A and B are shown apart, each in its own frame.
Chain A
Amino acid sequence: MSQAELAVEVQNLSVRFGDFYAVNDICFSVSRGEIFGFLGANGAGKTTTIRVLCGLLIPTQGKISVAGVGLEQGEQAIKAKVGYMSQKFTLYNDLTVEENLEFAAALRKIKKEVYIKRRSELFEFVSFDRDMKTLVRDLPGGTKQQISLVASMLHDPELVFLDEPTAGVSPVARSRFWALIRKLAGQNKTVFVTSHYMDEVEQCHRIALMREGKIIGLDTPLALKSSTFPKLMFEFNPKGSLSFDEVMKLGSNPCFSFFEPYGLRFHASIADEKAWELIKSQFEKDFYIKVISPSLEDVFIKRVEERK
């Protein structure tokens, strides 16, 4: 892929705090117009990587290029190219929509006429039709997220970082928000997203799995699933009154490479097909069994949490 098509390039990036490596020698690249997901447990190094890519943190070593700008050009040059939206804080609740957006525009020194034009474009983009004088605290969660996205896009960044953007909003609002993300990618904007909702992350073009500061997997959701579970995957739906502990004891059989609860059911991957054939009839007495394709949650549990 040519340099011009890359939105993010990271080479041997490490961030060390004292003796602790928050990020340990990671390499990856993200193309323009790509929706790139970052998955990992808390403390895996996702936020630290994003902080470096936003120009908030100087790495201990490694090279980064964000929208063609490197750290050698200064972190302010990177900040001018990126937009950032976090779940923790979206907007100032005691300010109106207009005041929040004016504030965001002033911090980026956007000219008034450019700001007004851009604001109306983005309002149309997110289908915002409320009064701009509404206090943010009076808006529903989903609308707040939309306005947050508008605030992070006012300066027309080439790359947007969305750090758990839909945490705490309704499923309908989440679905609408993801429609916006896809629309952004359609406009050749690169979207870098972290989320704990697996169904959301599944909508990313590619996903990086992080554990203990390292990237332990990077591919499309489908490829990640097939590389994590190369063999058949089954769903076990208990028929009778087996207790959870009894089911898990059955699941500890060495013929399974993976056996984990999934709601009221259980997902299992076979390690030894011959051994499975021998005990299959025994399991069919207690479970309805069907072949399924693994979910991203299964991948996460298997690879990030490294459970059987």
Chain B
Amino acid sequence: MKFSWRRAIAIGRKEVFHILRDPFTLATALGLPVFMVVMFGSAIEFNVKNIDLAISDSDQTSASRRLMDTFQSSGYFKIHRVVSPNEALVNLTTETARASVIIPPNFEKDLTSDRGSQVQCLLDGSDSSTVAPVLGYLGKIQSISNDRIAAFNPTSPFELRTRFLFNPELNSKWFVIPGLNVIIMSMLSILLTALTVAREWENGSMELLLTTPVEPLEIIIGKLAPYGVLGITAMVFVYIIARAVFGVPFVGSLVVYGLGSLIFLMTYLSQGLLISVVTRNQQVAMQIAMMSGMLPSQLLSGFVFPIESMPIFFQKFTMIFPARWFMQISRDTFLKGSRMVDLGIPFLALIATCLLMMTLSTRIFKKDLEK
């Protein structure tokens, strides 16, 4: 029997009635993304600030005081003055401080001599999330301190001048929000459809549907379309929040971003349907949806941990997750203004995954019915 748009539309229309008459689904689909973006967008901060720093100044000279001022005025550190190097060390072990700076006696004197001077920095390596940023700050502070203590500045053969493109102030909100959008929508969209087919199996309506000449593909398309529209509406809300509340700039093309969002949503909605078709049980579908949707999109999409830093196997492995590709599309269109040609690979990967998920759902559905 041929595919019938009339039947697919009838199923879509029925789903719309279900959605409109279920305030919980509607509130979850539209309200939850907005709430989560506002909440997590405000809470997540990649710039590490207010790091407790213990400083032991055994020199007590103008040069050592300038060095301490530089730490203080950077805004990244909360200074705790201690009287001895030993106390600086104790501060680390008792976790009163995350880092310690030990300025030796004769610091200023050594600077004026040809020998130069050494300042010891001790970092709490047990918390690697603060070590990397602190190391970055230390390099910058050393350079500024050298400028401030100009008389003692050794001449450098060249100067490295850094300018940050796309996010000049390294505002982590600009980086977090377009990524957070990906995480929230992947989690939500997979859940929306994971329950629909399973629900019909559980209450027996699927049997009744199947006694009519309806085809599995018509059911799949009919179920995907309304949730796709719902998902896109949620995406628009999230976009408005990102721009209006968090002031994230958008320099790319809305068409490219919209198209990417649509394919991304359809991919996760299809994955939800696949889970629903396979499990036929709402509770199991929910658990699998959470596992397969939430964890990989958070940990293996590049949202927090850069993919380039992962072992080669995992770099390749992340390619099967749609969130990884849309993360790139979202961040690049928001901040870099990337065009469709620049995002060819992510788009192709998303389209391929989307088609794969839809084909699998339809095939497995069809095969199941013939058992």
**Interface of A with B (CB < 8 Å)?**
17, 54-58, 74, 76, 79-80, 82-86, 88-89, 92, 94-95, 99, 102-104, 106-109, 161
Contacts and interface: CB of A to CB of B under 8 A. Distances in A.
Contacts of A109: 4, 6-7, 213
B65 interface: no
B213 A108 contact: yes
Given A76-B1, A88-B204, A56 B6 contact: no
Contacts, number: 70
Given A58-B370, A89-B203, A80 B213 contact: yes
B18 interface: yes
A107 B209 contact: yes
Given A56-B211, A88-B207, A99 B17 contact: yes
Interface string B123-148: 00000000000000000000000000
Q: Which of B22, B204, B208, B370 has the most CB of A within 10 A?
A: B208
B115 interface: no
B17 A95 contact: yes
Interface in B318-371: 369-371
A55 B211 contact: yes
A1 to B, nearest CB: 27
Interface string B244-258: 000000000000000
Grouping DSSP codes into helix (H, G, I), strand (E, B) and loop, the B interface class, with mixed when no group exceeds half, is: helix
18 contacts: A17-B371, A54-B211, A56-B207, A56-B211, A57-B370, A74-B1, A79-B211, A79-B212, A83-B211, A84-B211, A94-B21, A99-B14, A102-B10, A103-B14, A107-B7, A107-B212, A108-B212, A109-B6
Contacts of A95: 14, 17-18
Contacts of A76: 1, 213
A56 B210 contact: yes
Contacts of A83: 211
A115 to B, nearest CB: 12
B111 interface: no
A76 B7 CA distance: 14
B74 interface: no
Contacts of B11: 107
